[in-house]
Structure 1
Amino acid sequence: MKRGKSSRDKYLWVAGILGILLFLLFTWLDPSATETHAVDQDQALAKAIAHWQQAGLETQGLKSTVLMDGEQLANGYLSKNHLRDLYDTQLLQQAPLVYWKVTLYPASGVGNDHFEVRIDPDTGAVVAWSRSVNTSEPDPIEGAAAKGLAQQALQARGFADAVVQPVAVPPETRKPREVPVQTFEYVVPATQWAVGDLQVKYNVSVTGQQVSEVSYAYLVPAEFLTWHERQERIGMILTGLSLLFSFGLTVLAFVYLFLISQKKPWWSALGLGVLTVALFALANLNELPTIQQQFLGQGLGGVGRSFGTALVIFGVVVLGLLVGAATYVLILTGGMLTKEVNPALWTPRRARNWSAHVRGAMWRGYLLAFAWLGLQGIFYLVAEKGFGVWYEEDFSMSPSNMWFPLLFPLMAWLAGIQEETTYRLFGVTFFKRYWKNSLVACLLPAMIWALGHSLYSVYPIYTRFIELSMFGVVIGYCYLWWGIETVIFAHVVFDTIQMVIPFLLGGDGKEISVGVLYLLLPIVVGYALHLVRTRNEVESDSTALL
């Protein structure tokens, strides 16, 4: 048995080295991995403030949100139809696909006034803007005069021959006492810009006596839009199934918690459960800037935003406690099941070899993560070249849009602990205990886990299900061979490496340093646990001698 483990470790070294070399190669060949922007968040905010000050707005005392955003559907259309290179050669500089969205709003929390600007992250130019207008403004202009103002606004954006058309607004949609808003649109003709069937439409709004909005949107073909909406619905259904089956696993864990007569790992489960709650809350509250922007987009006033934010925080805390409680139960039951399947799957904290085991699990975790990275790279190389898999640029989880961007890689620890204890420690062990077959025991939890990743912007939408079902089987066997500590470390390292890539390749000195620290954090944790246990062992040995 010892010889078998040594042989596996030897092959693991080879797989790890090959995997990290493949990952580095794929990263080097991927232009999006090394893509950086000339204008950072602070510069975008400064340019937005300068724009509004030039327009006569007093910006002193205004709060702000600065988020990276973009035309996701247009990005997807270009990727699906292999038009990215053509788009790059015919770049419409007035309407970048990716932009900084800067919103200024009153610090007092009174009213729903806000002033929004889109900043080109490569040139720093203002490419779109909108503002609220004082509702007490008298004598609004209408008709030809309003149309003239709209055309002047577009001419200032570089469209000298633009002819805008009025957009009819149903009277029933207008609110009482609301200043009349006249909206005009302009579709850039194909003679000026054409990439596939993609179109660019500008909206210009005139409120009262001034232009209150100049914005643009990319229009994708109706066929693509219908297909995309159907893919999103399928993704929602698959994610719902994952939540349902994961809840079923939790119920099973709770029932078997009282049916299995083994010693329960109370303190280990409690510690990991509390850590899960803390990481869950931190990860979700770190997305508050995006939530604030959504409230502003919905026209919520200061009171509405404050109430909505409080409600979100309350919901995160409650949901975090539920996730932590579920993790606690899953670890308790999974820990007891390991004693009936294979005690080596989880080495108890009080075991005599615990410190050496944790240290070894940490190093194996790095090697496994390297191997998995290479395996994932091969999967997507085959998927893209052979099966037409493609991606959309999704900014919902961008570090740039987080409260504290440098805390983003901590999510790797949440995923590593919560997912591995749910789908491997309990899921694989449970099915291995009662169905015996290792392949089935690894496959069923892997499929549930894979379904939960269906809303990632990888298309067709079933791609991630196939990828992670296969990948989950590999992780399941790694768990059966090396135990839960190893796969937790491996999952953490795997996610951390991918999360710190933007810091390492596109960041400044501080971000690069933080990225390196996150890469080394599993080593710090592994050795800290090793040293704590070593001290306990020394104390235990001293007591025994007395």
Structure 2
Amino acid sequence: MEQRHSTRNIIIIAVISLFVFLTMSVLPSENNEEVLHEDASTISIQQAEEIAMQFVNEQFDVDLNQVEILLTFQTNKQLSGYLQKNKLVSEYNELYGESIPIDYFQVQISNHDVLEKYLVNIDMISGKIISWKMNAKATMTDDAKQKIAELFIAEQGYNIDNFYLLPQSDYELSNYIYESYDGGIKDAKLQLHLTIMQDEVKSFESNFVLPDSFISWMEEQDFKAAIMSWLSIGFNILFGIIALIIAIVLRKRISFIKGIWLTLIFLIIYTITNINMYPVYRAMSPIEISNFNAVFIVCISILIYLILSIILYLTSVAADGLWNNKSKALWPNRKDLSYGQHALKAMGFGYLFAIIILAVQSIFYFIGETFFDVWSASDPSFSPYNFLMPGLMPLIAWAAAISEEIIYRWFGIPLFQKIFRSTIIAVFITSMIWAIGHTAYPIYPAYTRFIEVTIIGLIFGYIFLKFGFMTAVFAHAIVDSILFSLQLLYLDFTKYAFLSLFYIVLPAIVAYIMFKFHHRFKRNRPAPVEEPT
């Protein structure tokens, strides 16, 4: 009766949370307004590539049969942050949204035969070319180049009388930077950058020079976030060493099979993810070594996740010994008769708790943005545009759920229980350690995500201790699957609507498969032989 009452309360809270989450999702947020309007349709990747190729062919007379094309999503992170922090997004969109968009497609057209690379930046909505650059080096200078630059600026619709030419260094005689006398947004000054070579405009870019105080503050916040991320890596390594020692000491009473399949799933997903991010690594490199650099980064990333997989496996088996007799209740064995039913129940509660966590997250950011000057900047690092196959991105949800629930809940909680003799302290410490690994996201101030994820970690700690490891993994995977699926829908609703729905219901499919396979296992299991009396 008590369990039914508890289940009913969770359902009621989940229903209220769903209403809260949906309401928060549609509320306008002045402090965190999207720089790229969500209601504006974007051009397709194929359209962007065709626009860039046509431009390069006309501007530089390039043989398009000899080139390689790479498209990535880019954004001006610092300018985005400056606008968000100072509540200037609406004003910026009105003044410069069409001519200097924050988010844009960057098409890289490479000619490996002559080691030339052309970067063409295209407005994602209008398809207008906003800037371009050629990597060829300057070979001559000429006084007439300034006139060429000024004529070109006038052709772009700017009044040259509103700009002044900044001094050039000896090494940048072909680079011209014009700064507006009064144009800009608040304290950010508008600049036009041009490169003139052989009487032609080889590059053009318009951007804003932000105040040094803001840049320094943002860089300081990013540095603090990076330090916390490195601390998280250090804790993972320390956990791995401790787990290895525990596994050796308790080797006679632990199962070395525990978690091996989940570890393999984790490694496979992150291997796929790192290969999927190849375009990002490729775009960051010079043309002459871009392929080598990208492959090298992918290989190093896979190696890092291989090491993390070993840590994941060690913590999985070591925790089995730390929990002693409680391990079967928290993480039941596949041979247990109730395993299939437990999987279905864990999935059901997983969906309920996922809705609650999403509502808590929405309320947290609403309060943060309204009362504590919390804001976010755009960042292309994990944009689905920058994946070889965007549709595979939500798989990360499962890898994150498996690894983090094993390391921080399944292993971390009993470890700190042994040290501090308190479950509450153990849950709190593991939640904080888990949180510092999530501070590298472009949300400011840097401590914001630490507080948010610590709160969510406390909820996951409750789920784990009250409903078991499997429920915590399902809830974690469902939360991340919903968030990643929303990114796919923003990318292309028509193309990814069915796939996004699939990822959201995938936990239910997984639980049902677990139930059916275990049900077949039980039927084929030989009945116990009664001993004669």
TM-score by length of 2: 0.93
Greater shift in the superposed pair: 488-497 or 524-533 = 524-533
- How far apart are 1:473 and its partner, in Å? 1.3
- How far apart are 1:341 and its partner, in Å? 4.5
State how far apart, in whole Å, the 1-side matches of 2:229 and 2:20 are.
31
Matches within 5 A, 1:444-523: 444-505=429-490, 507-523=492-508
Q: Tell me which residue corresponds to 2:147.
A: 148
The one-letter amino acid paired with 2:165 is Q
State how far apart, in whole Å, the 1-side matches of 2:306 and 2:90 are.
47
State how far apart, in whole Å, the 1-side matches of 2:347 and 2:121 are.
45
- How far apart are 1:45 and its partner, in Å? 0.9
Q: Tell me which residue corresponds to 1:182.
A: 174
Say if 2:233 is the partner of 1:228. Answer: no
8 Å CA contact 2:340, 2:519 repeated in 1: yes
Q: Deviation per CA, 1:423-457: give whole Å up to 9, x if none.
A: 00100122234433221110111111111111111
Q: Tell me which residue corresponds to 2:121.
A: 118
8 Å CA contact 1:262, 1:339 repeated in 2: no
Q: Tell me which residue corresponds to 1:377.
A: 362
Matches within 5 A, 1:70-219: 70-91=75-96, 93-106=98-111, 109-133=112-136, 140-143=140-143, 145-161=144-160, 163=163, 165=165, 167-171=167-171, 182-190=174-182, 193-219=183-209
8 Å CA contact 1:253, 1:329 repeated in 2: yes
- SS of residue in 1 equivalent to 2:174: strand
Q: Tell me which residue corresponds to 1:533.
A: 518
The one-letter amino acid paired with 2:179 is V
- How far apart are 1:342 and its partner, in Å? 5.4
8 Å CA contact 2:282, 2:291 repeated in 1: no
Q: Deviation per CA, 1:398-443: give whole Å up to 9, x if none.
A: 0011111111111101110011111001001222344332211101
Structure 1 pair 209/58, CA: closer, same or farther in 2 (3 Å)?
A: same
- How far apart are 1:34 and its partner, in Å? 4.0
State how far apart, in whole Å, the 1-side matches of 2:212 and 2:292 are.
38
Q: Deviation per CA, 1:42-89: give whole Å up to 9, x if none.
A: 211111111112222221242111111121111111111111222223
Q: Deviation per CA, 1:296-352: give whole Å up to 9, x if none.
A: xxx340xx2232233223212322221111111111112232334453111111111
- SS of residue in 1 equivalent to 2:70: strand
State how far apart, in whole Å, the 2-side matches of 1:141 and 1:437 are.
73
8 Å CA contact 2:119, 2:132 repeated in 1: yes
Q: How many residues align?
A: 523
Structure 1 pair 436/4, CA: closer, same or farther in 2 (3 Å)?
A: farther
The one-letter amino acid paired with 1:70 is T
Q: Deviation per CA, 1:143-164: give whole Å up to 9, x if none.
A: 2x11111112222221142555
- How far apart are 1:250 and its partner, in Å? 1.6
Q: Tell me which residue corresponds to 2:422.
A: 437
- How far apart are 1:386 and its partner, in Å? 1.4
State how far apart, in whole Å, the 2-side matches of 1:530 and 1:539 are.
14
- How far apart are 1:167 and its partner, in Å? 4.6
State how far apart, in whole Å, the 1-side matches of 2:39 and 2:235 are.
38
State how far apart, in whole Å, the 2-side matches of 1:244 and 1:391 are.
27
8 Å CA contact 1:392, 1:458 repeated in 2: yes
Match of 1:275 among 242, 248, 265: 265
8 Å CA contact 1:116, 1:131 repeated in 2: yes
The one-letter amino acid paired with 1:437 is S
8 Å CA contact 2:70, 2:108 repeated in 1: yes
State how far apart, in whole Å, the 1-side matches of 2:135 and 2:126 are.
26
Q: Tell me which residue corresponds to 1:524.
A: 509
Matches within 5 A, 1:346-357: 346-357=331-342
Structure 1 pair 320/342, CA: closer, same or farther in 2 (3 Å)?
A: closer
TM-score by length of 1: 0.91
8 Å CA contact 1:235, 1:455 repeated in 2: yes
State how far apart, in whole Å, the 1-side matches of 2:201 and 2:107 are.
19
8 Å CA contact 1:362, 1:526 repeated in 2: yes
Match of 1:336 among 321, 329, 352: 321
Q: Tell me which residue corresponds to 1:60.
A: 65
Structure 1 pair 540/36, CA: closer, same or farther in 2 (3 Å)?
A: farther
State how far apart, in whole Å, the 2-side matches of 1:492 and 1:391 are.
24
- How far apart are 1:293 and its partner, in Å? 0.5
8 Å CA contact 1:166, 1:182 repeated in 2: no
State how far apart, in whole Å, the 2-side matches of 1:199 and 1:259 are.
64
The one-letter amino acid paired with 1:155 is A
8 Å CA contact 1:150, 1:164 repeated in 2: no
State how far apart, in whole Å, the 2-side matches of 1:407 and 1:215 are.
34
Matches within 5 A, 1:11-22: 11-22=9-20
Say if 2:319 is the partner of 1:319. Answer: no
Matches within 5 A, 1:291-330: 291-295=281-285, 299-301=286-288, 304-330=289-315
Match of 1:248 among 225, 232, 238: 238
Q: Deviation per CA, 1:7-42: give whole Å up to 9, x if none.
A: 332222112222222111112225649454421222
Structure 1 pair 5/426, CA: closer, same or farther in 2 (3 Å)?
A: farther
State how far apart, in whole Å, the 2-side matches of 1:235 and 1:505 are.
27
Q: Deviation per CA, 1:241-279: give whole Å up to 9, x if none.
A: 121122222211111112236643333421111111111
The one-letter amino acid paired with 1:115 is Y
Match of 1:398 among 380, 383, 396: 383
The one-letter amino acid paired with 2:380 is F
Between the two proteins, what is the percent identity of the paired residues? 23
Q: Which runs of 5+ in 2 are unaligned?
A: none
8 Å CA contact 1:99, 1:118 repeated in 2: yes
8 Å CA contact 1:71, 1:217 repeated in 2: no
State how far apart, in whole Å, the 2-side matches of 1:378 and 1:24 are.
11
State how far apart, in whole Å, the 2-side matches of 1:167 and 1:58 are.
36
- SS of residue in 2 equivalent to 1:218: strand
State how far apart, in whole Å, the 1-side matches of 2:261 and 2:217 are.
45
